[in-house]
A and B are shown apart, each in its own frame.
Chain A
Amino acid sequence: MSAAAQGTSKAAHGDVAPKKKKGPGALATAYLVIYNVVMTAGWLVIAVGLVRAYLARGSYHGLYYSIEKPLKFFQTGALLEILHCAVGIVPSSVVLTGFQVMSRVFLTWAVTHSVREVQSEDSVLLFVTAWTVTEIIRYSFYTFSLLNHLPYLIKWARYTFFIVLYPMGVSGELLTIYAALPYVQKTGLYSITLPNKYNFSFDYYSFLILVMISYIPLFPQLYFHMMRQRKKVLGHTDDYSKVE
């Protein structure tokens, strides 16, 4: 969800007239193209997996299990993007990208994987669907940008779909965390209490609540940032849509 905002600086960079900014070298570009193609394919696999599972079962429930492994693999793979920023082949901020990728990885592993009982919740399907559609568009956007042949449709989709997908993903994530709370409290998952020889304590339950609260300031900022990016990148559509 928040990954929609990721690389917007890159998008803006790709869309604005070529400045005298030195992009990644040929080798780095080739690697990035391969990376983005692989990620696009991976998320397509997840999308297809979801559809097939739905058709096979005839219901929306419990579809997580059918795409659990590719989801974990490809979402975790996104950690490489932090490396890309750190090394400099992608012009985004390491901190921003890191934050966004880590929030996804956190939800995948520290919530959904760790608390088995939430895996059958519908909220999981909500955010998985949002992530899947977002990532397919995002990675194909990057692929085409790198090859300098970006179809307008993809650009439009990247800067338009988020309007629905972002809130959808956030809702799914929040509902999932909320559903996990009682189990975390009951089992004391990932928590450490005093006394212990490290003189340290951590309450995962409280931590999850803090995470949920943090969505309140963060989500609007990221959402409106994407809105502003949309105006900037797709600017001229505003003129056409103004019908007096």
Chain B
Amino acid sequence: MDILALEAKSQNGAEAEKKPTPKPKPKAPKKAKRIVYFEVEILDLKTKEKLLLLDKVEPTATVLDIKSLFHKSYPKWYPARQSLRLDPKAKCLRDEEVLQTLPVGTTASFYFSDLGPQLTWGTVFLAECVGPLVLYLMFYFRLPFIYSPKYDFTSSKHWVVHLACMCHSFHYIKRVLETLFVHRISHGTMPLRNIFKNCGYYWCSAAWMAYYINHPLYTTPHYGQQQVNAGLYIFLFCQVGNFSIHIALRNLKAQGSKVKKIPYPTKNPFTWIFWLVSCPNYTYELGSWIGFTVMTQCVPVAFFTIVAFVQMTVWAKGKHRSYLKEFRDYPTLRSSILPFIL
């Protein structure tokens, strides 16, 4: 038995699958199989100092298991905060990676770096959306210290202002509900400082827009009711479209499944845009904000729309590229965000 164990140790643990007849061994409390246990050494990325040595690690352990073990010794660093690499210059290892498939010998060295306090994406999304929702309403109801005191708690006499409030609120309530019930967020966490950055941007933009739309001196759109209606229809159309896409993406794969699939148009006409675009959720989002801009005729809204367009284009292009890389038969007609253009 011992000789066999030695032979197995010199190979790459591929022998772990073989199961000899289980015999109680008087030796160390191992299972009576020829499993080659790994020894895992965790070093600090910057100082190369040895932080932890784990022996008797199962070869089928994942990177996440190792992170959990590391967390036990260092309670401050929960797994989401850990970044483990095989080499200081290499990329971070994914949690799903299995120890025995990694290019390491039976003694594996990982370099650890602290990603800082983490928040789940869900948490960040909610904070990003609840802020604008509440802030806009504060301006809509003209709470004190925003406008001149004589306007406190007054209501605008323009119908479009009320409509804009309904649309804006609807948009963010929809987002909150989608974050809670529709989206399947595959990424785990993001660094804490991101929430300040993201929320700062969303909240300040919302406040800036809301200030002007709900201002006592607000000027209604130049082309009157026609313009407002046009903006409203575009907005509503794109909101429904955006929602349809989110549902379609959710139905693409089962919960927890890691299999990536190409999204295709479904029976819902709003999803037919998938023929032309990889990320129609961004297309519809852009459309919604264009509708809102037309409806309110407000430069800060236009500004926000342009910035959102730039950001979403960056995201869409990234997503489009990863689709192209992942799937050889990816439809060639599709652009990333704007049909035929971008």
Contact = CB atoms under 8 A, between A and B. Distances in A.
Interface of A: 194-201
B176 interface: no
A196 B219 contact: yes
B297 interface: yes
A198 B298 contact: yes
Nearest to B297: A199
Interface in B160-219: 212-213, 215, 217-219
Interface size class of B (residues with CB under 8 A): 10 to 19
A195 B215 CA distance: 9
Contacts, number: 29
B297 A197 contact: yes
15 contacts: A194-B212, A194-B215, A194-B218, A195-B217, A195-B219, A197-B219, A198-B298, A199-B213, A199-B215, A199-B218, A199-B219, A199-B298, A199-B299, A200-B212, A200-B299
Given A199-B298, A200-B298, A200-B299, 14 more contacts: A194-B212, A194-B218, A195-B219, A197-B297, A198-B298, A198-B299, A199-B213, A199-B215, A199-B218, A199-B296, A199-B297, A199-B299, A199-B300, A200-B300
A195 B222 CA distance: 13
Contacts of B296: 199
Nearest to A200: B299
Contacts of B218: 194-195, 199
Contacts of A197: 219, 222, 297
Interface string B60-88: 00000000000000000000000000000
Contacts of B213: 199
Nearest to B213: A199
Contacts of A200: 212, 298-300
Contacts of A196: 219
Nearest to A194: B217
Contacts of A198: 297-299
Nearest to B222: A197
Nearest to B300: A200
A194 B215 CA distance: 9
Majority-rule SS of B interface residues: loop
B297 to A, nearest CB: 6
Nearest to B212: A199
A195 B297 CA distance: 13
The 8 A-B pairs of least Cβ separation, nearest first, read A200-B299, A195-B217, A194-B217, A199-B298, A198-B299, A199-B212, A195-B219, A197-B219
Contacts of B219: 195-197, 199
B298 to A, nearest CB: 4
Interface string B287-326: 0000000001111100000000000000000000000000
A196 B299 CA distance: 11
Contacts of B217: 194-195
A200 B297 CA distance: 10
A92 B135 CA distance: 39
Contacts of B222: 197
A200 to B, nearest CB: 4
Nearest to A197: B219
A201 B300 CA distance: 9
A197 B299 CA distance: 9
Nearest to B298: A199
Contacts of A194: 212, 215, 217-218
A190 B300 CA distance: 17
A200 B219 CA distance: 10
A197 B217 CA distance: 10
B197 to A, nearest CB: 15
A200 B298 CA distance: 7
B214 to A, nearest CB: 10
A194 to B, nearest CB: 4
B293 to A, nearest CB: 11
A167 to B, nearest CB: 31
Contacts of B297: 197-199
A196 B219 CA distance: 6
Nearest to B303: A200
Contacts of B298: 198-200
Nearest to A196: B219
A196 B213 CA distance: 12
Quick one: which of A194, A197, A198, A199 has the most chain B CB within 10 A? A199
A221 to B, nearest CB: 18
Contacts of A195: 217-219
